[in-house]
Amino acid sequence: MKRIFGLECEYGLTFSPNGRVYLPIEKILGYIFEGLIPNSWPSNAFLENGARFYQDTGCHPEYSTPECDDLLDLVMHDKAGERVLESCLPIAEDRLREEGLSGNIFIFKNNTDSLGNTYGCHENFLMRRDVDFWKVAEQLIPFFVTRQIFSGAGKILKVSGKPQYFISQRAQHIHEKTSSSTTSSRSIINTRDEPHADAEKYRRLHIILGDSNMSEFATYLKVGTTDLVLSMIEDKFTVPSVELDEPVKAIRDISKDTTLKKRIKLEDGRELTALEIQRMYWERASEYLESHPHDKIMHDVLREWERVLDRLEDSPMLLVRELDWITKKWIMESYIEKKGCEWDDPRLAMMDLQYHDINQQRGLYYLLVGRDHIRKVVSEEAIERAKNIPPQTTRAKVRGDFIRFARAKNRSYTVDWTYLKLNGYWEETILCMDPFCASNRRVEELLSQVPQARLKT
């Protein structure tokens, strides 16, 4: 069965002025929005590629991918979010100069700032309503707690005043197993149930503990393995006796140990490493795919999952080109060896941040991409298309087509995940409750009113 999934990524934003004049970050964010969305449209807006771009709590620009039912589409549209924000930077800096100011605006795809605040990368999966959500959650929690060994973004943090390299940026900010809050009591699984679809058939699985990934492969593996594990649990292929004794403590303990040797206590008294727990899920997923036919991508995810677990056990540094926390650790260790410095050197803290700079001309991740030191999953051409073209197999296509029509006709409109509305004269609301449906008769009629040259991409 196809599944709808998406990512909501909050970005860090900062301004480095050339001089003593400092602008509030709210004003900088306003310039970012001006570079993307015309003044006649709201700052909380959907784009022609079906994605949503808006200001989140803490004055963070947030980009929500359009609904995807294909893993490669999701990777592509997640990266397109970076490119969309990057394209706003020159326009925003020009606006600064118009006001007699100058400086550089930095946008980071990471999860923590220098003051210890955190912002998230939330994962959304449409799941079946007829399965017991709490049983599914109990099965998923050990998987999510240990998944960071290949999905973590890496971070230098101080422990008792001494710098230490951690696997995950979000792990230290998780306080509950489950919660409805995304800020005051962050949890492994968020229980907010907003399926944006037929609520009798579906609910939303909302995951808020994950790191933002620069690596396309890490995103591919993170979302792909979650999709696979969720599918097998929905089909009653559970992993027996895997419940953790203290999941919140476990997620922090695993993040502290880059040797991956730390043993985590289970409810039945056994102690296993994160690698051993991941292998339990992999083995069950392998059995599941043998008896339940899936598309070739899920079989590829299973193969890559096993390969990554094998390398993490034997030679983790072989994954330098693929996993963020290992790639960043390699950069820093190489610098330490070259300069003869220690982990408390402030230049390492700067490198920690610069790895996540989405500006392709200065971000450390993108410097590695330019030297072919990073494994790519989708082409740059595909990412560029995704900036303007929505996925063609989900409701996002209907939304993108509608927005293109309204802008071509200079019509005011209101859009949400489940409806499209033309405002004013001949006001009309079009409901779109099926996220799997990529066509709508009324939207197609509207598109016929727009010259085809305007619809070319």
Q: Which residues are catalytic?
A: 56
CA–CA gap between residue 291 and residue 349 (Å, rounded)? 48
User: Where is 194: in which H helix or E strand?
Assistant: none
Rg (CA), the chain: 22
Evaluate whether 4 touches 394 at the Cβ level (below 8 Å).
yes
Pick from 111, 109, 110, 92: which is nearest to 101 by CA?
Answer: 92
The beta strands (E) that lie in 217-339 are given as 263-265, 271-273
CA–CA gap between residue 166 and residue 332 (Å, rounded)? 13
CA–CA gap between residue 72 and residue 70 (Å, rounded)? 6
Evaluate whether 168 touches 274 at the Cβ level (below 8 Å).
no
CA–CA gap between residue 364 and residue 109 (Å, rounded)? 12
Paired sense of beta strands 103-108 and 12-17, if any: antiparallel
Question: 296-304 long-range CB contacts below 8 Å, 24 or more apart?
Answer: 297/70, 297/71, 297/72, 297/224, 298/224, 298/227, 298/228, 298/231, 301/71, 301/220, 301/221, 301/224, 301/225, 301/227, 301/228, 302/228, 304/217, 304/220, 304/221, 304/224
